[in-house]
Amino acid sequence: MKKAYLSLFLALFIFTFSLSSTAQELTSSMPTQDSTKVYSKEEVDAQAFFAPKKNSKNDLYNLMRFISKEYRFPGAAIRYGLSGDVLLLFTVDKQGNLTDFKVDKPMYPEIEAELIRVVQLTSGQWKPAMKDDKVVNSMFTLPWKFSVR
């Protein structure tokens, strides 16, 4: 009788363990959204956008206006009458804060540093991107033309 109970207990234990490991395998193979992943604009359902007011819609016009108002051209740019294009890339996190600034093809470090300074002033005023009805971190690309005349 003890052998029968021991065999039954052992069989139940092995069966329970195999179900547990199968469930873990199924769960681990399911796709998940990594909380630290930064999505590109092609990967999200709705892009992050500048929203300085509570009910703002996608407000690129006001972002450019803010940059133009706050931007202070470095002395060298004024002296040499520099002009060109800057492509600024940064991450908009889930809280609407800006991080990880990068300049694509840097040319004028002083001009680019000033642009980063001004754009950082808007941190916290962004609506984060959405993917599958969830807020996600995303990359934002900001093209900016500058000209000193």
Amino acid 87: pLDDT: 95
d(CA 81, CA 75): 10
Residue 43 lies in a domain: yes
Residue 13 lies in a domain: no
Residue 7 lies in a domain: no
Please give the tally of structural domains in the chain. Answer: 1
Amino acid 105: pLDDT: 87
Q: Could you give phi then psi for residue 60, rounded to 5 degrees?
A: -65, -35
pTM for the predicted model, two decimal places: 0.73
d(CA 32, CA 55): 31
Domain that holds residue 94: 38-147
Amino acid 94: pLDDT: 96
Amino acid 61: pLDDT: 86
Please enumerate in sequence order all residues whose Cβ is within 8 A of that of 64, keeping only pairs 6 or more positions apart, or say none. Answer: 144
Residue 14 lies in a domain: no
The alpha carbon of 25 is separated from its chain's Cα centroid by a whole number of angstroms, namely 30
pLDDT tens digits in sequence order for the chain, 149 residues long: 544 433 434 343 443 434 344 444 443 444 455 678 999 999 999 999 998 876 666 678 889 999 999 999 998 888 888 888 999 999 999 999 999 999 998 888 999 999 999 999 999 999 999 999 999 999 999 999 988 77
Amino acid 36: pLDDT: 87
Amino acid 62: pLDDT: 87
- CATH number for position 106: 3.30.2420
